[in-house]
DNA sequence: TGTATAAGGTTGTATATACAGTATAGTCGG
DNA sequence: CCGACTATACTGTATATACAACCTTATACA
């Protein structure tokens, strides 16, 4: 049940970074120092530091040391933003209507998305967010009860699911997929849109400590919403090709 | 000058995947088989396979073996990536068809997007990218001749516009807008899609030293492409609410 | 025939060791 | 005072070895 040693070292370093104790530019312990303090071999320390470097948290300089990296500038498209706040920031009125709130047995496809080995139950939530009374987002969300057991006890008229989850569970990894879809009849009805209007579907998965927290599909009517991001690129040029 | 052994093994496997010799689901050599054929230690083979797994090219099952993973047809949202490379990375064949390559007087709307004060001329390029002969992206691009004067001298059958611009001009800021659209009749024809198929439109502007380099609209048929990103969240917690 | 067991191959992790390449600090000599 | 050399620390790579966990297949047994 205990995690591998190299993972423990990674977690130890990540916690110092998350807590703010080690700010960007700070030097982290060298491999030999980790060998001493954790009583591990150098190869194990090397693996921890090498993987954190590949993940973008650290940068290493031969002969000098290992340092906390500057976090990259990222777009709002890729951040976990709360739609209620976005709408409020535009000076408009947000409201939500809950269509379904239930607990289900995970079907095969969902179990795979949640990286579950055994059959399990999942929270399911379907709701519509409106801006000044006009539906702008259909939220179809599944949540892992193992990670967020009290999710289904919340009243999502008061707090959005995103806001609750971000506050309740430390998210350390995100995956986004964006595609264009033609909504189903049920989705059209919930969003109150015409028959041939395409929609943007934002599919999001989030992880916390190796477990999938939630799988959400957010559907935006094309005429009412676009996703936007603008950011400075890092000076070293992370741009490939 | 020779690359490390583990990198050579990675490249060897990637070439088999890119060339199509090893299709998704194919079993790749086990660690012990790589040990024999490359005359390396098992730890070196392990590192090559482990890193390719982390990069999403392989999947491993303890006790069974290592297999080529199904490559999703999707494009990175975070980076400025070259579609020809993305397609090659999936082991597929990229080709491009140039529909229009010209120099125009900037109309009002474009002049504003380029933040031009005075009337100016712009390069205009319209081309279609295909994957195994199937159109997957319609690229409608305008380029500022002041920033990239030799843009129009390139042969974009050889080098994609993105690849040329990234190499020729240091990009320091990016703007992305994503929306779902119903394509026009002309766009449908170029992409060879049906009448009611929605598309993803990725609108991109890039800046270099305060000047707009290029304004591009990239249109993806919904059924053939999605946009994707996955990343570790910055430790300090840039997540808003 | 059906079931338990054993064997062998596979990945996953961990260690001890070795050597190369790089950067820095200090020392020695001019 | 400055330059060359040296010692030291750090990362990067590679090997040989070991054990655990997992899966499949073959074998032995009831």
Place of tokens 């055994």: A118
* DSSP 8-state class, residue A98: E
Q: Average pLDDT, stretch A5-15?
A: 94
- Alpha-helical regions (H) of B80-228: 83-89, 108-113, 161-168, 185-191
Q: Which fold has domain B5-68?
A: Arc Repressor Mutant, subunit A (1.10.10)
- Confidence band for A59, pLDDT divided at 50, 70 and 90: very high
Q: What's the mean pLDDT when you consider all of chain B?
A: 87
pLDDT digits (tens, 9 = 90+) for B66-85: 999 987 666 666 666 788 88
Closest Cα in chain B to A235: B172
Top-confidence residue, B19 or A149: A149
* DSSP 8-state class, residue B73: S
CA A139 to chain centre: 15
pLDDT digits (tens, 9 = 90+) for B78-118: 666 788 888 887 878 899 999 999 999 999 889 989 988 87
Q: Which fold has domain B74-228?
A: Chorismate lyase (3.40.1410)
- Confidence band for B1, pLDDT divided at 50, 70 and 90: low
How many CB pairs (< 8 A) connect A and B? 168
Q: Average pLDDT, stretch A211-224?
A: 90
As ranges, strand C nucleotides with an atom below 7 A of a protein CB are 8-18, 21-24
Read off φ and ψ for residue A216, nearest 5 degrees: -130, 140
Contact (CB<8Å) A230/B180: no
Using the predicted structure, report yes or no on whether residue B147 has a pLDDT greater than 70. yes
Read off φ and ψ for residue B109, nearest 5 degrees: -60, -40
pLDDT, residue B108, reads 87
pLDDT, residue B237, reads 41
* B71 to chain A, closest Cα gap in Å: 14
pLDDT, residue A214, reads 95
CB nearest to A181's CB, from B162, B222, B241: B222
Minimum mean pLDDT range among A97-101, A213-217, B180-184, B232-236: B232-236
Ranges assigned E (strand) in chain B: 27-28, 58-61, 65-68, 74-76, 94-105, 121-131, 134-143, 173-181, 199-208, 211-221, 226-232
Give the integer Cα–Cα distance in Å for B169 and B83: 18
Give the integer Cα–Cα distance in Å for B10 and B49: 7
Minimum mean pLDDT range among A53-62, A217-226, B58-67, B137-146: A217-226
Q: Average pLDDT, stretch A180-202?
A: 92
Contact (CB<8Å) B227/A81: no
Q: Average pLDDT, stretch A120-140?
A: 93
pLDDT digits (tens, 9 = 90+) for B177-221: 888 999 999 999 999 999 889 999 999 999 887 789 999 999 999
Top-confidence residue, B167 or A41: A41
Contact (CB<8Å) A181/B74: no
Q: For residue B236, which residues of chain A lie inside 8 Å, CB to CB?
A: 17-18, 20, 71
ipTM of the modeled complex: 0.74
Minimum mean pLDDT range among A13-17, A62-66, A114-118, B194-198: A114-118
- Confidence band for A67, pLDDT divided at 50, 70 and 90: very high
Q: Average pLDDT, stretch A145-153?
A: 92
pLDDT, residue B41, reads 95
pLDDT digits (tens, 9 = 90+) for A69-99: 877 655 556 666 778 888 877 778 899 999 9
Top-confidence residue, B175 or A148: A148
Sorted by where each begins, the domain ranges of chain B are 5-68, 74-228
Q: Residue B73: which residues within 8 A CB-CB, separation 6 or more?
A: B90, B131, B136, B224, B225, B226
pLDDT, residue A75, reads 52
Give the integer Cα–Cα distance in Å for B79 and B136: 19
The gap between B29 CA and C10 C1' (Å) is 11
pLDDT, residue B239, reads 36
Q: Which fold has domain A76-221?
A: Chorismate lyase (3.40.1410)
């Amino acid at each position: 049940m205990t995690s591998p040693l190299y993972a423990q070292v990674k977690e130890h370093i990540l916690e110092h970074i998350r807590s703010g104790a080690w700010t960007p530019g700070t030097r982290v312990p060298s491999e030999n120092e980790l060998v001493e303090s954790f009583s591990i071999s150098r190869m194990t320390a090397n693996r921890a530091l090498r993987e954190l470097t590949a993940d973008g948290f650290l940068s290493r300089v031969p002969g000098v040391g290992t340092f906390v990296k500057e976090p990259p500038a990222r777009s709002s498209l890729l951040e976990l933003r709360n739609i209620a706040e976005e709408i409020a920031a535009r000076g408009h009125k947000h409201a939500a209507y809950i269509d379904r709130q239930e607990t289900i047995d995970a079907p095969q496809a969902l179990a795979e998305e949640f990286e579950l080995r055994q059959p399990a139950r999942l929270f399911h939530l379907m709701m519509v967010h409106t801006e000044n009374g006009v539906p702008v987002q259909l939220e179809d969300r599944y949540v892992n009860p193992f990670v967020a057991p009290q999710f289904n006890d919340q009243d999502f008229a008061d707090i959005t699911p995103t806001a609750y989850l971000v506050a309740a569970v430390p998210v350390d990894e995100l995956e986004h997929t964006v595609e264009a879809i033609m909504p189903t009849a049920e989705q059209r009805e919930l969003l109150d849109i015409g028959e041939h209007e395409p929609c943007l579907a934002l599919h999001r998965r989030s992880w916390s400590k190796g477990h999938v927290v939630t799988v959400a599909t957010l559907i935006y009517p094309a005429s009412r919403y676009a996703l936007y991001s603008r950011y400075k690129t890092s000076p070293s040029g992370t741009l490939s090709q």
